């Protein structure tokens, strides 16, 4: 199984400041034949199901604010919220779809400082 | 707009079988664009993929649960279902159904990310 490790477990950021969440996979999720990273990010607010933010590591889902961006390749990935808003308080998860079983990171909780 | 809704008992006794159904609306479960998946989340913990199914009936399961899981599809009702046998307290979780995006990788179908998700249903295993 590909193990997804997120860091930090939680972070507190001031409104308008940058939040950076890391996700590391135990093996590369970059498929060399198409040069795509099989990595997605979700946002889960309290009491709600996860919501898709980004797929292919950096493609923003339609309707997702452009303050959310994904980057990275191979085994190391980052989700950046460029200017944190109050509505961004949530737990964020990465997930790989390079191999089954599909696996998720443990989550990163983002709060307002 | 695709929507999914889980249904089933919220309380299951230890050693019995958990059974849930997911009803898909706003689209056809026979779409070639999706697999249909189950994911669970123990209270206060992270997400675990249970398994997914294609409308044709092809399934793939998480090996950690494979011996206890059966996922089936009913295209006439636009529904798919989860059965998890021999449950214990460790199976207490919010169970989500979700559309599992299916894409082609050099003509080989692959499962991808989940979108959208159902609201989830809490299943408690207790006597």
Report the alpha-carbon distance of residue A40 to residue A48 in Å, rounded: 18
Report the alpha-carbon distance of residue B61 to residue B53 in Å, rounded: 9
Chain B hits for A93, Cβ within 8 Å: 46-47
The answer, yes or no, to whether residue B13 has pLDDT greater than 90, is: yes
Chain B hits for A38, Cβ within 8 Å: 112
pLDDT given for residue A3 in this prediction: 98
CA neighbor of B101 nearest in space, from A107, A61, A47, A80: A61
pLDDT given for residue A14 in this prediction: 98
- Give the closest-approach CA distance of A98 to chain B in angstroms: 8
Q: CA gyration radius for chain B?
A: 14
Structure letter (DSSP) for residue B89: G
**Optimal mutation site among A43, A54, A79, A102, interface B, most CBs of chain B within 10 A:** A102
Q: Which of B49, B112, B120 sits opposite A101 (nearest CB)?
A: B49
**Optimal mutation site among B33, B46, B98, interface A, most CBs of chain A within 10 A:** B46
pLDDT 10s digits, A58-78: 999 999 999 999 999 999 999
pLDDT 10s digits, A73-97: 999 999 999 999 999 999 999 999 9
pLDDT given for residue B107 in this prediction: 82
Query: Is B5 an 8 Å CB contact of chain A?
Result: no
pLDDT given for residue B110 in this prediction: 87
pLDDT given for residue A68 in this prediction: 98
Q: How many Cβ pairs within 8 Å bridge chains A and B?
A: 60
Cβ–Cβ of A52/B114 closer than 8 Å? yes
Residue B56 neighbours by CB under 8 Å, 6+ apart: none
Chain A hits for B106, Cβ within 8 Å: 33-34
The answer, yes or no, to whether residue B87 has pLDDT greater than 90, is: yes
pLDDT given for residue A89 in this prediction: 98
pLDDT given for residue B105 in this prediction: 85
pLDDT band of B20, cuts 50, 70, 90: very high
Question: Residue B97 in contact with residue B22, Cβ under 8 Å?
Answer: yes
Q: What is the mean pLDDT of residues B95-106?
A: 92
Q: Work out whether the CA dihedral B42, B44, B45, B50 comes out positive or negative.
A: positive
pLDDT band of B106, cuts 50, 70, 90: confident
Q: DSSP letters of A23-70?
A: EEESS--EETTTTEE-EEEEEE-TTS--EEEEETTTEEPTT--TTEEE
Note which residues in 27-86 of chain B have CB less than 8 A from chain A.
37, 46-49, 52, 60, 62-64
The β-bridge partners of A22 are: A7, A78
Determine the length of chain A. 113
pLDDT averaged over every residue in chain B: 96
Structure letter (DSSP) for residue B8: S
More confident residue, B50 or B108: B50
Chain A hits for B59, Cβ within 8 Å: none
Phi, psi of A27 (to 5 degrees): -145, 160
pLDDT averaged over every residue in chain A: 97
pLDDT band of B43, cuts 50, 70, 90: very high
Q: What is the mean pLDDT of residues A14-41?
A: 97
The answer, yes or no, to whether residue B119 has pLDDT greater than 90, is: yes
| Pairing mode, strands A108-112 and B3-7 | unpaired
CA neighbor of A54 nearest in space, from B50, B117, B114: B114
The answer, yes or no, to whether residue B108 has pLDDT greater than 90, is: no
């Amino acid at each position: 199984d590909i193990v997804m490790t997120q860091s930090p477990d939680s972070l507190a950021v001031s409104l308008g400041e940058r939040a950076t969440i890391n996700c590391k996979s135990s093996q590369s999720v970059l498929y060399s034949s198409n040069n795509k990273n099989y990595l997605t990010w979700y946002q889960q607010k309290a009491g709600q199901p996860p919501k898709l933010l980004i797929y292919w590591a950096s493609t923003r889902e339609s309707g997702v604010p452009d303050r959310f961006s994904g980057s990275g390749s191979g085994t190391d990935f980052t989700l950046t919220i460029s200017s944190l808003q109050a509505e961004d308080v949530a737990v964020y998860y990465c997930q790989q779809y390079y191999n089954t079983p599909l696996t998720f990171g443990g989550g990163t909780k983002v709060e307002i400082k | 707009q695709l929507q999914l809704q889980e249904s089933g008992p919220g309380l299951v006794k230890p050693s019995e079988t958990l059974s849930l159904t997911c009803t898909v609306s706003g689209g056809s479960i026979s779409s070639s664009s999706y697999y249909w998946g189950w994911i669970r989340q123990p209270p206060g913990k992270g997400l675990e993929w249970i398994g997914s199914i294609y409308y044709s009936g092809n399934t793939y399961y998480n090996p950690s649960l494979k011996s206890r899981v059966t996922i089936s599809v009913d295209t006439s009702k636009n529904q798919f279902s989860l059965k998890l046998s021999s449950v214990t307290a460790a199976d207490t979780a919010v169970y989500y159904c979700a559309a599992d995006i299916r894409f082609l990788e050099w003509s080989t179908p692959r499962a991808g990310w989940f979108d959208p998700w159902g609201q989830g249903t809490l299943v408690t295993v207790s006597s």
